Amino acid sequence: MERTFGIIKPDAVAAGDTGKILDIIEQNGFKVAGMRKIHMSKKTAQQFYSVHASRPFYDALTTFMSSAPCVVLVLEKDGAILGWRELMGATNPDMATEGTLRKLFGKSIDHNAVHGSDAKETAAEEIAFFFAGMNLV
């Protein structure tokens, strides 16, 4: 069984969409193996998104991700990494397929409701970043 890492981002949590998103996640066959509600510091957001440090949107992205609580998730399913990316939809909600989480709950490219790891290595790193030493069930 493969595991991936996801975030219900501050925009979706603030909008009261956490439960709806979790429902869709479970309806799509994912098991929630880990879940925590956190409020990231700016420094944590900068570390988490360090791969984007040179991008023009880095400061706005890390300010947004540390602006309010989010929910970090470990999701388990056969093919979880690709499956979660498909369920999320395109980065820009305007370009996302109907029925995807970003189409349903995202407002714009910088307020796009959810995050998901993009490969095996990043999934392992991102799970470890937020769940190191914690019991995943």
Nearer to ligand ATP, 121 or 137 (CB): 121
C-alpha to C-alpha distance for 136 and 44, rounded to whole angstroms = 21
| Pick from 88, 84, 90, 109: nearest CA to 100 | 88
Q: Compare residues 89 and 135 and give the one whose CB is closer to ligand ATP.
A: 89
Return the range that interacts with ligand ATP (CB under 6 A); candidates 23-31, 36-44, 69-77, 110-118: 110-118
Contact 77, 29 (CB under 8 A): yes
The answer to whether residue 110 forms part of the interface with ligand ATP (CB under 6 A) is yes
Among 22, 24, 35, 109, binds ligand ATP (CB under 6 A): 109
How many Å apart are CA 63 and CA 66, to the nearest integer?
5
Per-residue mark of binding to ligand ATP, 54-93 (x: CB under 6 A): ---x---x-----------------------------x--
Among 115, 123, 127, 130, binds ligand ATP (CB under 6 A): 115
Catalytic-residue membership of 115: yes
Q: Find the helix or strand (DSSP H, E) in which 82 lies.
A: helix 80-88
Q: Are 90 and 97 in contact (CB under 8 A)?
A: yes
Nearer to ligand ATP, 4 or 133 (CB): 4
Output 35 or 137, the one with its CB closest to ligand ATP: 35
Q: Which residues are catalytic?
A: 115
What is the contact surface with ligand ATP in residues (CB under 6 A)? 57, 61, 91, 109-110, 112, 115-116, 118
